[in-house]
Amino acid sequence: MKKLISALQFQNSVEFDENYLLDLGGEGEDKAHIWGRLSREGQEYVLDYEGDALLSSTCDRCLEACQCSIHVDYCEQLDEETMEMGLEEIARQEFILQRPLQILCSQDCKGLCIHCGANLNKGACNCEAPVDPRLEKLLTLIKD
């Protein structure tokens, strides 16, 4: 960020295109690409950027490894505290805020069997479905 701010001494805006490895709370560091503009309007600085990141994580239903893409679109007037944070930290925080609440390998993920733990995406398990004791007598009618 300091390099961008020093470039603003000679012009009103500076464009940037950066790649980072950020810790977004997934499995290790995740690749992020950020592009945008830092501009000066009087004594104020305005940061306007977009970014894409690929989060490596595990599916919340079946626990298989998967990746989730996150897009951010950010525009803010920077104060002194934010200026000292740096572009990398600002982007990291924004990506974390945009992270989905539930990460899935696919929208139709079936998850794990609640009895044996088998991954239902790979096939049905051999568990017998538990019978509600209130309806158990009806099974005798079906068998007859």
Q: pLDDT tens digits for 122-131?
A: 988 888 877 7
Nearest Cα residue to 50 out of 16, 73, 20, 78 = 73
Nearest Cα residue to 56 out of 64, 48, 67, 71 = 67
Question: Structural domain of residue 58, as residue ranges?
Answer: 2-109
Three-state SS at 69: strand
Structurally, how many domains does the chain consist of?
1
- pLDDT of res. 135: 80
| Mean pLDDT for the stretch of residues 2-9 | 65
Residue 144 has pLDDT above 60, yes or no: no
One-letter amino acid for residue 135 of the chain? L
Q: What digits encode the pLDDT tens for the residues 47-92? A: 999 999 999 999 999 999 999 999 999 998 887 777 778 888 899 9
Locate tokens 């088998």: which residue? Answer: 118
**Higher per-residue confidence, 25 vs 142:** 25
- pLDDT of res. 64: 94
Q: What digits encode the pLDDT tens for the residues 108-141? A: 999 999 888 899 999 888 888 777 888 878 877 7
In a domain, 137, yes or no: no
Q: Which of the 8 DSSP states describes residue 52?
A: E
Count the alpha carbons within 13 Å of 28 in the hemisphere toward its beta carbon: 8
Other beta carbons within 10 Å of 21: 12
Report the distance separating Cα 144 and Cα 139, nearest Å.
Answer: 9
Q: With beta carbons less than 8 A apart as the criterion, state whether 8 and 41 touch.
A: no
Report the distance separating Cα 13 and Cα 120, nearest Å.
Answer: 53
In a domain, 51, yes or no: yes
In a domain, 62, yes or no: yes
In a domain, 118, yes or no: no
* pLDDT band with cut points at 50, 70 and 90 for residue 36: very high
In a domain, 84, yes or no: yes
- pLDDT of res. 52: 96
In a domain, 132, yes or no: no
